[in-house]
Amino acid sequence: MAINHTENQPLIELQGVTKVYGTGQAAMHALRGIDLRINEGEFVAVMGPSGSGKSTCMNILGCLDTPTGGIYHFKGIEVGKLTRTQRTRLRRFYLGFVFQGYNLLNRTSALENVELPLIYRRVPAGVRRARALKTLETVGLKGWESHTPGELSGGQQQRVAIARAIVTEPAVLFADEPTGNLDTARSREIMDLLSGLNRDRGITIVMVTHEQDMATYAKRIVHFLDGLVAVDKQNGGTT
Amino acid sequence: MLWTTIVLALREIKRNVMRSFLTILGIVIGVGAVITLVTIGGGATAQVQQQIASMGSNVLMVTPGKRLGPGQSSNTPLFKVSDGEAILRQVSSIAAVAPVSSQSIQAVLGNENWSTSVTGSDNEFFRVTNRPIKTGRKFSDSELRGGVAVCIVGETVYKKLFGGQASLGGNIRLEKLSCQVIGILEAKGQNTMGMDQDDIVVIPLRTYQRRISGNQDVARFQVSVQQGASTEKAQQDIRLLMRERRHLSQSDDDNFNVMDMKEIANMLTGTTQLLTELLSAVAAVSLLVGGIGIMNIMLVSVTERTREIGIRLAIGALESEVLMQFLVEAVVLSSLGGLIGIVAALAGSVWLASVLRVPFVLNAGIVVIAFLFSAAVGVIFGYFPALKAARLDPIEALRYE
């Protein structure tokens, strides 16, 4: 896959993206035509009420789902024209995911969970282990490597999930309500961690949340309403 | 790539010991049962063949009547000693002929009383039936000619009456006949039908005719054919000779039987083999049921693991990689089941063989077939459910609860 990415090109560009679930009378229009550009290094919070299409948009951005209409460019590549395998490779090499429900493998140690994406990247065992350990340390889980998700608290599980997402050093980190299952104190820790990663490592972060508190950590906030972008502003001022 | 997949698959199996164990249990039992039954059946067949070989090679049995064993029609003339002499004299490839008559009898020594069988024959009996004398001697010519009351006893009779004490030269009583023990036969064990071949007393034929049966008849001849000579030819020659001696016309059926040990062997091994095949068929059904068990558990386990598949797809696993992982898991599991089954079956067969006193005959073919079947079950039943799950959109698989 050839990536012709240039400086002035946005990392992510959506043009009139729509998503329809079902057909005919029962058709549900989740996205009605989204235009969105996200540049490298941004920290974007996507907000909106339930059913406004923010999660659907996120799944399309993460190449987990395909749009019904419109065009999605990632690093200048038209994602809609890629095959399933090519989209998987895109996820494997450029994208990282953090979900509200953590989505860790059960009965699998934190270390093994973090190693998983590296296995699919064919990283040799020794390097893999070293990187996974280092990343777990970064998210503050040194000493918890051999614990399974069942033995970790929600906040710790989400840290493992974040470690798993960033261990590959992705171009973009997609986080779908990463603090949705956590109390305020744990939520703040997670948000500090994310904004730190954005600030220090320059990882682009796109985060879905419905909590205003969490959105304030982002540099830019996009509001969704009824499948359309309602407000798009820099944090502190409208663009 | 393949190595990584195998490592991943082994990790998954280790992580879910209970699920893995239940999955392979059916295969273990099925493979174990098939191999054990085929092995024991093969051992039994081999044992029958061995025993028949030990009855004496190139042995023919000439009996009156139209069938083997009792139930001859009453008007069938029996044999005389002269018939045996004629066979030996006129059929060129014959090595020895032993006339044999026998019946059951009560043997008594002091207070000991034992129900056994008495056989009247001559010294050829020991040669034709391949039964050497362990201690003592054969009959002398004068004893044979004069119908003297001497006997050679089998191991069982010796133990029952004498309690194992050396007592050659002593007398035992066979009903009204008191006879001197001059030899002991070498032990031979049970025959194919489970009869104790050592439960026997042999006396000279003439003694038998005069003192026990009271007639001049001979119940059957056991004939041994010369080494290298054709048994079929000898069989045919004896048949023609006996037809002539019994004055049978062209249209008459034989009123006697000339049986080859091979025929007897085939008859007996045929039964054992049929039984083995039947039991193996039952075991094969259990293997099939085991396969269906694997299918069910694979189906459930893949459905249950749809979310795991979603996670793997989301973080960059290709459909083919996920599929390969499940496939390897299934193959490793069912092969493991097959291997455990094989080991269990071999251990079980060795044990059973010693308990049932049959030789342990390993049938490599069935081991290979059973193993391949178990692996194939894994591939087929692991593949399709995994294919279904791996083709889901990652987001659908992730939403699956």
Q: Across the interface, do B395 and A59 touch by the CB < 8 Å criterion?
A: yes
**Paired strand residues for B179:** B172
Q: Whose structure tokens read 């990790």?
A: B11
Question: Is the predicted pLDDT of residue B67 greater than 90, yes or no?
Answer: no
- Interchain CB contact of A148 with B (< 8 Å): no
Residues 6+ apart with CB under 8 A from B4: A119, A122
Rounded Cα distance between B206 and B220, Å, is: 15
Q: Across the interface, do B316 and A120 touch by the CB < 8 Å criterion?
A: yes
Q: Across the interface, do B314 and A97 touch by the CB < 8 Å criterion?
A: yes
Task: Taking residues A26-53, report their average pLDDT.
Answer: 91
- Contacting residues of A for B304, CB less than 8 Å apart: none
Residues of B numbered 272-311 whose beta carbons fall under 8 angstroms of chain A's beta carbons: which are they? 307-308, 310-311
**Which of B308, B321, B394 is facing A120, going by the closest CB pair?**
B321
Question: Is the predicted pLDDT of residue B193 greater than 80, yes or no?
Answer: no
Strand pairing class (B150-153; B201-204): antiparallel
Q: Across the interface, do B393 and A105 touch by the CB < 8 Å criterion?
A: no
Residues 6+ apart with CB under 8 A from B234: B60, B91, B93, B94, B223, B225
- Interchain CB contact of B271 with A (< 8 Å): no
Q: Across the interface, do B16 and A64 touch by the CB < 8 Å criterion?
A: no
Rounded Cα distance between B181 and B172, Å, is: 7
Least confident residue range of A21-30, A134-143, B181-190, B392-401 = B392-401
Rounded Cα distance between A181 and B233, Å, is: 95
Q: Across the interface, do B316 and A108 touch by the CB < 8 Å criterion?
A: no
Grade residue B1 by pLDDT with cuts at 50, 70 and 90: low
Task: Taking residues B198-204, report their average pLDDT.
Answer: 91
- Interchain CB contact of B395 with A (< 8 Å): yes
What single-letter DSSP state applies at residue B151?
E
What is the value of pTM for the model shown?
0.65
- Interchain CB contact of B313 with A (< 8 Å): yes
Q: Which of B123, B76, B89 is nearest to B217 (CA)?
A: B76
Q: Which of B36, B32, B57, B167 is nearest to B112 (CA)?
A: B167
What single-letter DSSP state applies at residue B210?
I
Question: Is the predicted pLDDT of residue B166 greater than 80, yes or no?
Answer: no
The sign one gets for the Cα dihedral B137, B142, B144, B146 is: negative
- Contacting residues of B for A122, CB less than 8 Å apart: 1, 4
Question: Is the predicted pLDDT of residue B280 greater than 70, yes or no?
Answer: yes
More confident residue, B286 or B119: B119
Measure the N-to-C terminal CA separation of chain A; round to a whole number of Å: 34
- Interchain CB contact of A127 with B (< 8 Å): no
- Reported as a single tens digit per residue, the pLDDT across A164-175 is 999 998 999 999
Token pair, residue A2, equals: 């050839």
Question: Is the predicted pLDDT of residue B359 greater than 90, yes or no?
Answer: no
Length of chain B: 401
B182-212 core/surface letters (b: 16 or more CB in 10 A; e: else): bbbbeebeeebeeebbbbbbbbbbbbbbbbb
Q: What is the mean pLDDT of chain A?
A: 89
The angle formed by the CA atoms of residues B253, B259 and B262, to the nearest 5 degrees, is 140
Task: Taking residues B256-270, report their average pLDDT.
Answer: 77
- Reported as a single tens digit per residue, the pLDDT across A89-127 is 999 999 999 988 889 988 889 999 999 999 888 899 899
The type of residue at A202 is G
Task: Taking residues B43-49, report their average pLDDT.
Answer: 81
Alpha carbon of B283 to those of A58, B211, B212, B279: distances in Å?
55, 55, 52, 6
Rounded Cα distance between B111 and B129, Å, is: 32
Residues 6+ apart with CB under 8 A from A181: A100, A101, A102, A154, A158
- Contacting residues of B for A59, CB less than 8 Å apart: 395
Instruction: Give yes or no for a contact between B334 and B294, defined as CB atoms under 8 angstroms apart.
Output: yes
pLDDT of res. B151 = 92
Instruction: Give yes or no for a contact between B135 and B184, defined as CB atoms under 8 angstroms apart.
Output: yes
Instruction: Give yes or no for a contact between A95 and A170, defined as CB atoms under 8 angstroms apart.
Output: yes
pLDDT of res. B72 = 47
Q: Which of A179, A211, A187 is nearest to A49 (CA)?
A: A211
Beta-strand runs (E) in B110-144: 112-121, 133-136
pLDDT of res. B77 = 81
Task: Taking residues A48-62, report their average pLDDT.
Answer: 90
Rounded Cα distance between A139 and B176, Å, is: 106
Question: Is the predicted pLDDT of residue B196 greater than 70, yes or no?
Answer: yes
- Contacting residues of A for B397, CB less than 8 Å apart: none
Token pair, residue A46, equals: 């996507």
- Interchain CB contact of A129 with B (< 8 Å): no
- Interchain CB contact of B186 with A (< 8 Å): no
- Reported as a single tens digit per residue, the pLDDT across B298-343 is 777 777 788 888 898 888 888 888 888 888 888 888 888 889 999 9
Report which listed range, A147-151, B56-60, B293-297, is most confident. Answer: A147-151
pLDDT of res. A194 = 92
Query: What percent of chain B lies above the pLDDT cut of 90?
Result: 10
- Interchain CB contact of A21 with B (< 8 Å): no
The sign one gets for the Cα dihedral B26, B30, B36, B39 is: negative
Q: Across the interface, do B311 and A105 touch by the CB < 8 Å criterion?
A: yes
On whether ipTM exceeds 0.95, the answer is no
Report which listed range, A13-22, B56-65, B182-191, B246-255, is most confident. Answer: A13-22
- Contacting residues of A for B394, CB less than 8 Å apart: 64-65
The alpha carbon of residue A36 is apart from the nearest alpha carbon of chain B, in Å, by 22
- The three-state secondary structure class of A76 is coil
For A95, name the nearest residue in chain B, comparing CA atoms only.
B315
Instruction: Give yes or no for a contact between A49 and A225, defined as CB atoms under 8 angstroms apart.
Output: yes
When the candidates are 3.40.50.1370, 3.50.50.60, 3.40.50.11810, 3.40.50.300, the CATH number that belongs to A12-238 is 3.40.50.300
Token pair, residue B67, equals: 């069938």
Mutation to test the A interface, candidates B1, B10, B304, B315, most A Cβ within 10 Å: B315
pLDDT of res. A172 = 94
How do the domains of chain B map onto residue ranges?
A: 2-51+266-399, 77-254
pLDDT of res. B55 = 63
Q: What is the mean pLDDT of chain B?
A: 83
- Interchain CB contact of B98 with A (< 8 Å): no
